[in-house]
Amino acid sequence: MTQQSPTPATQAINLQQKLALIDEHWSPRVVAEMNDYQFKVVRIEGDFIWHSHADTDEAFFVLEGQLRIDFRDGHVLLQAGELYVVPRGVEHKPYAAQEVKMMLIEPRGVLNTGEEGGERTAQNDRWI
């Protein structure tokens, strides 16, 4: 069962304010939904795990910092204000040398670790 956002429809969502409420890294929190897609904010630092999402693309929108997304054959660097969409099925590994604040846009129910699982798997549908 999905928890509904406590934000009234007449109030804008302040992403910086929402990020300030998150204390831990690699723990995405939902701030809004559109159709079957969730907008999640997250703070990250360090290396993540190699993973892919067989059934969906995944959008990374950097709000603050510099994000590197590694691929088996290269990488892409994202600065604040930049967006990148990892196509479905493409193995990737996010990395942040220093803390990055960003938004993820993906369908409801997508695990942050894809099919890999493990200790970095975050609980879904956690609203902030």
92 is a domain residue:
yes
88 is a domain residue:
yes
Total Cβ atoms within 10 A of residue 82: 15
49 is a domain residue:
yes
For 5-30, write each residue's pLDDT tens digit. Answer: 555 568 999 999 999 999 999 999 99
Cβ atoms of 37 and 105 closer than 8 Å: yes
Alpha-carbon distance 46 to 64, whole Å?
Answer: 15
Question: Structural domain of residue 51, as residue ranges?
Answer: 13-105
**pLDDT value, residue 4:** 56
CATH code of the domain covering residue 90: 2.60.120.10
32 is a domain residue:
yes
For 31-67, write each residue's pLDDT tens digit. Answer: 999 999 999 999 999 999 999 999 999 999 999 999 9
Largest Cα span, the chain: 45
Predicted TM-score (pTM) above 0.95: no
53 is a domain residue:
yes
User: Residue 72: is its pLDDT beyond 70?
Assistant: yes
- The total number of structural domains that make up the chain: 1
Alpha helices in 4-125 (DSSP H): 15-20
Amino acid at 4: Q
